[in-house]
């Protein structure tokens, strides 16, 4: 006990003493503490956040793969560079990946991805904790759209933006103040007077330079967070052209609607294809402020190639949208979009059931939603429709042989046919005698039967005999036989008696029985 107490007192006196030795020890401790703090801060990776909205579980995985992989990364050891698992099957998903420099050695930043597939109102409570005063300057919103169903794009985009606006309105005053400062910096990016371009190149403004003023429709509905719209699977553009007869005008119309809508939020737009390289990495990483220390990757716009569209933020304008295709009313669409995003969330339906999702397999009926007057979504869906549904419905009706519905004859065609029959019957009734009426009735019946079943033929000794023709000949011969034949006088002035007459009634009955006779199995009687 004594030794321990002496040792404790000695350590205490040397460490906290007031002499010169104690001061030196304190200086050493401060020096080591500062060095350790500097090393720790140097090892700390910049944290960036991506809030990915929309798409399916598979399309979100495709987006992560396109964003985190490149040729150099694929050549590395797969076990060493294996991506972390993705948890996005339920509610709010999560994963992360490290951004490597051009030499694949230095880690520039770590990006955390939060993924949400359905814009359900109940999910707003999951998104709200992700937006804090510390995370807002390092957060980018990404909305995934798919070329498998472009006719739903404007509706899906509206629902996601309404969800975000609901979340933003519920944030604290500190978060809203940080968002306002964040948007001021984003408005200046890529413009004269800005401090940093989107692609990371220097753009320090000279003294006295002023940033370019905003054009009409630009940044009029800023969210407080940068936004990027990614349209996946652009290879299906060729499929739409072949199967649904989409023309260049239709693809340009879709692009004009998208550009007009996102221009109000200062957002960027890009089309991606899984099998083709795209500037997706450059756009997303530059939007998060991540730039390579070794290689600058320039970001260029592209609005010409229909499957490789790239629209950086702060580049687009109404004038550039009009140039793409004449006749597009950009003012009406922009005004209609401002009406759409000013609606309550979720938007009410006519039956009172709220909208809970935009899954392509279970999309709600458009007619059930109470659409506001002048809605850009309504204008878009009137011009961009899924024509394959009409073709499938028509094909299904043609193939269904058990359906109860029978297509009716055109009314005018039916009445015209009946009028001819009535005129013919009227002419026959005007003739005296009942026999004529019966003859007309029988003739009409025979004509109808002949029209439906055709002439009756049978084989007699290897010769095809037309029964109708045979009966008609017998009738003609019978009527000819009833006409008195002229008497032929011989030299003795005596009239020769007519020869024996043929029993035509019996022959007519014989051939009539042949006509009404049912053919046995393997018989020779045929109907054509």
Statement to judge: residues 309 and 436 lie in one domain: no
- The pLDDT value given to residue 433: 56
- The pLDDT value given to residue 484: 54
Other C-beta atoms lying within 10 Å of the C-beta of residue 407: 6
Statement to judge: residues 201 and 260 lie in one domain: yes
Statement to judge: residues 359 and 413 lie in one domain: no
Which residues have CB under 8 Å from 131's CB, separation 6+?
139, 167, 168, 171, 175, 225
Choose the final residue of a domain: 392, 417, 438: 392
Domain that holds residue 434: 408-453
* Structural contact between residues 304 and 263, judged by C-beta atoms closer than 8 angstroms: no
The count of structural domains within the chain is 3
Statement to judge: residues 263 and 281 lie in one domain: yes
Choose the final residue of a domain: 347, 366, 392: 392
Which residues have CB under 8 Å from 411's CB, separation 6+?
none
Helix locations, 384-492, DSSP H: 388-399, 411-429, 434-453, 467-481
CATH number assigned to the domain comprising residue 72: 3.40.50.300
Residue 339: enclosing H or E segment and its boundaries? helix 330-340
- The pLDDT value given to residue 87: 72
Whether 16 maps to a domain, the answer reads no
Statement to judge: residues 73 and 216 lie in one domain: yes
Whether 36 maps to a domain, the answer reads no
**Distance set, CA 97 to CA 68, 85, 250 (Å):** 7, 10, 38
Q: Which residue has the tokens 């009756």?
A: 456
Q: Which residue has the tokens 């991540």?
A: 290
- The pLDDT value given to residue 160: 96
- The pLDDT value given to residue 148: 93
DSSP state for residue 274 in the 8-state scheme: T
Please give the full DSSP string across 401-417, using - where no structure is assigned: SS-S--PPPPHHHHHHH
Nearest-5° Cα angle at 161, 142 to 367: 120
Pairing of strands 107-116, 92-100: antiparallel
Of 350, 360, 269, 277, which Cα lies nearest the Cα of 310?
Answer: 269
Radius of gyration of the chain (CA): 44
Statement to judge: residues 388 and 414 lie in one domain: no
Statement to judge: residues 303 and 371 lie in one domain: yes
Statement to judge: residues 322 and 431 lie in one domain: no
Whether 434 maps to a domain, the answer reads yes
* Structural contact between residues 117 and 57, judged by C-beta atoms closer than 8 angstroms: yes
- The pLDDT value given to residue 480: 62
Whether 20 maps to a domain, the answer reads no
Statement to judge: residues 436 and 528 lie in one domain: no
* Structural contact between residues 331 and 322, judged by C-beta atoms closer than 8 angstroms: no
Statement to judge: residues 448 and 324 lie in one domain: no
Whether 189 maps to a domain, the answer reads yes
- The pLDDT value given to residue 519: 58
Whether 429 maps to a domain, the answer reads yes
Statement to judge: residues 136 and 213 lie in one domain: yes
Whether 516 maps to a domain, the answer reads yes
- The pLDDT value given to residue 22: 57
Whether 149 maps to a domain, the answer reads yes
Of 93, 94, 88, 97, which Cα lies nearest the Cα of 66?
Answer: 97
Which residues have CB under 8 Å from 231's CB, separation 6+?
145, 146, 147, 150, 153, 258, 269, 270, 271, 272, 309
Statement to judge: residues 161 and 108 lie in one domain: yes
Task: Chunk the chain into consecutive blocks of 10 residues (it has 528) and report each block's average pLDDT, rounded to whole numbers.
Answer: 39 43 62 64 76 92 84 46 68 88 82 92 92 94 96 95 94 94 82 50 50 85 93 94 91 96 95 89 90 79 92 92 93 96 84 47 55 93 82 53 62 83 82 54 53 60 71 72 52 48 70 67 49
């Amino acid at each position: 006990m004594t030794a321990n107490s002496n040792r404790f007192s000695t350590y205490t006196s040397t460490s906290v003493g007031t002499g010169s030795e104690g001061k030196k020890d304190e200086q050493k401790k401060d020096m080591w503490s500062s060095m350790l703090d500097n090393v720790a801060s140097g090892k700390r990776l910049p944290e960036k956040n991506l809030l990915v909205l929309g798409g399916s579980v598979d399309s979100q995985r495709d987006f992560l793969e396109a964003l985190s992989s490149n040729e150099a990364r694929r050549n590395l050891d797969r076990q060493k560079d294996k991506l972390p698992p993705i948890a996005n099957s339920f509610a709010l998903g999560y994963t992360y990946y490290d951004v490597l420099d051009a030499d694949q050695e230095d880690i520039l930043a770590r990006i955390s991805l939060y993924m949400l597939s359905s814009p359900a109102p109940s999910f707003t409570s999951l998104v709200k904790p992700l937006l804090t005063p510390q995370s807002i300057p390092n957060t980018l919103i990404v909305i995934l759209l798919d070329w498998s169903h472009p006719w739903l794009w404007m509706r899906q985009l509206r629902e996601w933006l309404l969800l975000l606006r609901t979340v933003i309105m519920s944030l604290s005053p500190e978060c809203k103040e940080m968002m306002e400062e964040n948007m001021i910096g984003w408005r200046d990016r890529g413009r004269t007077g800005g401090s940093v371009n989107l692609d990371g190149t220097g753009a320090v403004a000279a003294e006295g330079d002023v940033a370019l003023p905003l054009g009409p429709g630009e940044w009029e509905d800023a969210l407080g967070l940068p936004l990027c719209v990614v349209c996946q699977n652009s290879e299906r553009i060729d499929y739409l052209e072949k199967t649904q007869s989409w023309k260049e005008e239709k693809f340009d119309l879709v692009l004009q609607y998208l550009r007009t809508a996102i221009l109000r939020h200062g957002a960027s737009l890009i089309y991606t294809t899984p099998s083709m390289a795209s500037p997706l990495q450059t756009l997303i990483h530059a939007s998060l402020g991540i730039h390579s220390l070794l290689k600058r990757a320039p970001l260029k716009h592209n609005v010409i190639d229909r499957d490789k569209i790239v629209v950086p933020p702060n580049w687009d304008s109404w004038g550039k949208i009009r140039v793409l295709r004449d006749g597009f009313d950009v003012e009406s669409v922009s005004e209609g979009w401002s009406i759409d995003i000013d609606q309550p969330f979720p938007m009410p339906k006519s039956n009172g059931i709220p909208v809970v999702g935009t899954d392509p397999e279970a999309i709600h009926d458009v007619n059930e939603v109470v659409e506001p007057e002048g809605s850009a979504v309504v204008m878009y869906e009137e011009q961009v429709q899924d024509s394959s549904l009409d073709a499938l419905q028509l094909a299904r009706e043609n193939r269904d042989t058990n359906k109860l519905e029978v297509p009716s004859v055109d009314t005018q065609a039916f009445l015209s046919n009946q009028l001819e029959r009535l005129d013919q019957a009227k002419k026959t009734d005007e003739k005296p005698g009942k026999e004529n009426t019966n003859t007309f009735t029988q003739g009409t019946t025979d004509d109808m039967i002949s029209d439906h079943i055709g002439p009756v033929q049978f084989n007699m000794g290897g010769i095809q005999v037309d029964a109708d023709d045979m009966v008609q000949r017998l009738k003609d011969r019978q009527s000819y036989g009833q006409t008195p034949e002229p008497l032929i006088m011989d030299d003795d002035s005596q009239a020769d008696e007519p020869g024996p007459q043929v029993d035509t009634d019996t022959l007519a009955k014989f051939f009539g029985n042949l006509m009404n006779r049912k053919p046995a199995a393997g018989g020779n009687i045929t109907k054509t």
